[in-house]
Amino acid sequence: MLQLSFTWVWSKELEIAAVEIELINTKKTLICVCYRPPSVNINEWLCLFSSFLESSSSYESILICGDFNFPDLYWNSDFVFQSQDISSGSTDFRELISYFFLQQINIHPTRKNNILDLVFTRSPETVRNLECVPPTQSNLLSDHSLLFFDFGVHAKL
C-alpha cells in the first residue's frame, strides 16, 4: 500500500511543495520542490528554511530540489566553492545545508554559468542519471535548464 500526502508550505517568503511517501514496512520519504525569490529577506528565509529542515529530520529519505538563487556559490561534487565576494546569506545557507547533513548533487549550470537549481539529499546514491537539458530543447518558456534524474527508495518487504 502506498500513502501520499501533499503540502504547500509556509509563507510568501518560503515556497515549498512537498510530497510525503509512505510504503508498507518502510519509513517515510519526503520529496520537496523549493523556490527562493532573490528579493526576499535572506535572514527571514533562512530562518523559515531551517525550521523546515528541522521538521524534515525524521524522514529516512529526503530529496529537496529547486531554484535557490545563490549565484555566488559554486557547487562541485562533494564540496562547495564560493566566490571572493560571497554574501553572508550564501555562507549561512551553505552552513545550514551542512548542519543537516545534506549533499548537493547537481554540478551542471542551469542559468548561464550559475548553478542555481540544486538537488539535495542525505543519501547521494538515491539520485541517479542526472541530466541537464537546455531551455531551447525543453519547449518551455524558461531561462533555466531543466534537470532530469531518477530518485530511488527501497521498500523493506
> Is the pLDDT confidence value at 48 over 60?
yes
Cell digits of residue 100: 543537516
CA 54 to chain centre: 15
CB 38 within 8 A of CB 70: no
Q: Is residue 74 part of a domain?
A: yes
Q: Is residue 49 part of a domain?
A: yes
Note the pLDDT tens digit of each residue in 103-125.
999 989 898 888 899 999 999 99
Mean pLDDT over 86-109 rounds to 89
> Is the pLDDT confidence value at 147 over 70?
yes
The CATH number of residue 73's host domain is 3.60.10.10
φ/ψ of residue 145, rounded to 5: -70, 155
* Range of the structural domain that residue 123 is part of: 2-151
- Report the distance separating Cα 77 and Cα 55, nearest Å: 27
Q: Is residue 16 part of a domain?
A: yes
CA 98 to chain centre: 13
pTM of the complete model: 0.84
Query: What is the share, in percent, of the chain residues with pLDDT greater than 70?
Result: 82
Q: Is residue 134 part of a domain?
A: yes
Q: Is residue 36 part of a domain?
A: yes
- Report the distance separating Cα 155 and Cα 23, nearest Å: 7
Q: Is residue 156 part of a domain?
A: no
CA-nearest of 26, 25, 53, 48 to 37 is 48
SS3 9: strand
Q: Is residue 103 part of a domain?
A: yes
pLDDT given at position 21: 86
Q: What is the dihedral of CA 40, 44, 50, 54, to 10 degrees?
A: -120
| E strand or H helix at 76 | strand 73-76
pLDDT given at position 82: 52
Q: Is residue 37 part of a domain?
A: yes
> What is the radius of gyration, based on Cα positions, of the chain?
16
SS3 7: strand
Q: How many domains does the chain have?
A: 1
